[in-house]
A and B are shown apart, each in its own frame.
Chain A
Amino acid sequence: MLQTSALAIGFKEGRDGVSTISQGLNLRLNPNELVCLVGPNGVGKSTLLRTLIGLQKPLSGEIRLLGQSLKQFTATQLAKSVSVVLTNPVSAGAMRVGELVALGRYPFTGLFDVLTRNDLDVVDQSLEIVGAMPLKNRYIDELSDGEKQRVMVARALAQEPHLLVLDEPTAFLDLPGRVSMLSLLKELAHKQKKAVLTSTHDLDLALHTADRIWLMNRNGEISEGSPEDLVLNGQFGKTFNQSNVTFNANTGSFNLGRPPHRSIELHASGINLIWTKRALQRAGYEVQPAGSGNEFIVEVDDSTRPVIWRLRYHGKSSEHTSIYSMLLSLESDI
């Protein structure tokens, strides 16, 4: 679908100055595949996306789309092959959702923009696919951020693209909105046979959803592979680790704060074990299983109602009915 060879991206500065963001990129996008582009802020993800969709010229190297060099595409041909969802806000309040999506037919209509039956059908199908058909007659400024983003995806689909490129489509959405946006993108890749490339800061979601990940580090190098490959070969940790954030390869999530500085023994089972362990880890403890011989012990007694957290150390013992109070006591005594 799309291939780059020895692609260099960046900006031309002044007369002959060049600031290169990334070079030697040999990337590939396939149909039926959702690729998430992730990386720390400011590494040039947007520049890469903008270059791939022709909004910005590459410094050197080549981009081939559908077997043809990107340079050979006319603007209209390109618009019929690639469509985008950008971070730019769309500010036309007196426009209805249906009209906005119909703008996606721009490359197909004539000088006076008369929509054919086919154009109208494509608009409806696009709205249907993203589940925004009920919104068709609403005005854009009445929509929530999540609805607006879906409509923007529908607008992009109305261009009937082979490749759909999105720049941080989840940025302003709440958690359920993020999840449903990414699963929508996955559906577009797998059911509509599109190649979908999206940049995102939701690493957790990307790890769970993406078919492939492009991981861009601070030097502009891109490692690619399935999410699991990148976790196992340590690229994920290397790219994102900072002084106060560490990537936990066991859980696939990021741990905040300092590494554990004390240890504690936890006697519990089931769901109480899971959440008490999380709480202790959050407070900076390394949690050990029962029988480790640690002098600090937390026991969870779930035979009673309410559940009791019992704290034992130095021969003293205290009982708590919540994790919160147990942690407070632990902090104040040590």
Chain B
Amino acid sequence: MEKKPTAAELLGNNLPQQRDRLSAIRVFALLLVGLAVLFVVSISLGSVRIPLADVIKILFGQPAARDTWTSIVLNFRLTKALTAMLVGAALSVSGLQMQTLFRNPLADPFILGINSGAALGVALTILTIGATGAYLLAGLGTFGDLSLAIAASMGAGLVLGMILLVGRRIKNPTTLLILGLMFGHATGAVVSLLIYFSIPERIQAYTIWSYGSFAGVTWSQMRVMLPVILLGLLIAVFLPKSLNALLLGEEYARTLGLNIARTRFWVLLSASILAGTATAFCGPIGFLGVAIPHVSRNLFKTSDHKWLLPAVALLGAGAALVADAIAQLPGSQYVLPINVITSLFGAPFVLWVVFKKKRGATSFTV
């Protein structure tokens, strides 16, 4: 009786949905190809001009015209592109989970104060620890220092722990939101206080961190960041069914047999690991987390998380690569802060998407 339907049966279930699925698969294929192209383009961009042919040679392990090129591509640009993709995917998936969990279209990965925690950790490190101050300032140009990532991780982890602990006792998700918001304000105040009593050089170092960057992750940091983000994504893979049920609201979800407390725990864990890790290694990168889920809902015309999860991961990775490419200001020696790019170019784009197609705007009516 309970035999699995064939793919043809699933697709043939009815015609419009069949068209939907096929076009979705086509869009996914397009996204994958686009991501690969962006990846290569991103690696070929930078202050040192390296021909595309040489970039591809280096990526396939062949010697390039100059040895310095190999070093630049493998040790700097490749890690940066990988970081951008991982962080873009992580923040977007995290944002999607938060928006559904709180049924709020404005929710983003940082809504519960994960970034505030990270910021506090970093602020404490940069602004107060005098002994390593000089070393920090020297290393901050490329964010080469792992101690910042550790400080940010500890801050983010502290907030995460608190959320999970308190979240068990709180019934109403809105209360959790308010808690996160208040925690953010309190941490912001402490950071302001630290800035107030700090010296200009350190303040500048902190400000640079707060602009966000994909460029600071080295291979040794990647060895930490990659598995942790993959862990967050792995948890996320098991959550679409529960997230779909949550679209009906918590009460309906409960009558479907969903364990709200358990679901909330795993969603918060996954979302916080993703957002916390991204922030720890790259600074608080705004906008992707709130925007990419909306763009995905519009593009795929669905609220189904089975489709949305891979969609936001791919789109988020792509968007981060694009933002990074623009930040390079191709052809110039300057590199702009990534946060400036995501917001400056992202905001009009999202407005365009939302106004052009109405459905995404109403994917949550709160």
Chain A residues proximal to chain B, CB less than 8 Å: 53-55, 74-80, 82-84, 86, 88-96, 98-100, 103-104, 106-107, 109, 111-118, 120, 136-137, 139, 141, 159
Contacts and interface: CB of A to CB of B under 8 A. Distances in A.
Given A93-B303, A94-B301, A141-B362, A113 B244 contact: yes
A78 B257 CA distance: 7
B364 to A, nearest CB: 5
B1 interface: yes
A117 B9 contact: yes
A94 B303 contact: yes
Interface stretch (B11-19, B219-227, B316-324): B11-19
Interface in B221-254: 238, 240-241, 244-245, 247-249, 251-252, 254
Contacts of A95: 247, 302-304
Given A99-B304, A107-B257, A116-B5, A88 B360 contact: no
B240 A136 contact: no
Interface string B242-270: 00110111011011111100000000000
A138 to B, nearest CB: 10
Interface in B2-34: 2-5, 9-10, 13-14, 16-17
A94 B247 CA distance: 11
Contacts of B254: 55, 75
Contacts of B103: 91
B204 to A, nearest CB: 44
B263 to A, nearest CB: 11
Best-buried of A109, A139, A159 by chain B (most CB within 10 Å): A139
B202 interface: no
Contacts of B303: 92-95, 99
Nearest to A108: B2
B147 interface: no
A86 B363 CA distance: 20
Contact of A75 (B13, B259, B362, B366): B259
19 contacts: A75-B257, A76-B257, A80-B257, A82-B255, A90-B247, A91-B247, A91-B362, A92-B248, A92-B303, A92-B364, A100-B248, A103-B256, A104-B256, A106-B244, A112-B240, A112-B241, A113-B241, A114-B4, A159-B256
B240 A113 contact: yes
Interface of B: 1-5, 9-10, 13-14, 16-17, 103, 238, 240-241, 244-245, 247-249, 251-252, 254-259, 297-298, 301-304, 306, 359-366
A54 B360 CA distance: 34
A262 B276 CA distance: 78
A103 B245 contact: yes
Contacts of B359: 93-94, 139, 141
Nearest to B306: A113
B249 A88 contact: yes
B2 A96 contact: no
A88 B3 CA distance: 35
Contact of A109 (B1, B241, B249): B241
A94 to B, nearest CB: 4
Contact of B366 (A78, A91, A100, A120): A91
B13 A120 contact: yes
Contacts of B366: 91
A84 B252 CA distance: 8
A137 B14 contact: yes
Contact of B17 (A98, A104, A117): A98
B364 A91 contact: yes
Contacts of B297: 94
